[in-house]
Homo-oligomer: A and B are copies of this chain.
Amino acid sequence: MTTTLYVCTTCRAGQELPEDAVRPGTHLLNALEAQGTPDGVEIIPVKCLSACSNGAAVALSAPGKWTYVYGRMTTEDAADILAGAAKYAASEDGFVPWRERPEQFRKQSLARIPPFQMPLEAAE
Contacts and interface: CB of A to CB of B under 8 A. Distances in A.
B114 A111 contact: no
B110 A51 contact: yes
A124 B45 CA distance: 5
Interface string A53-96: 01001010101000111010000000000000000000000000
A73 to B, nearest CB: 13
Contacts of A124: 45-47
Contacts of A46: 114, 123-124
B110 A69 contact: yes
Nearest to A117: B63
Contact of A69 (B47, B48, B113, B120): B113
B114 A69 contact: no
A30 interface: no
A30 to B, nearest CB: 14
A10 B106 CA distance: 18
Contacts of A4: 116
Contact of A44 (B48, B57, B67, B120): B120
Contact of A50 (B51, B59, B111, B123): B111
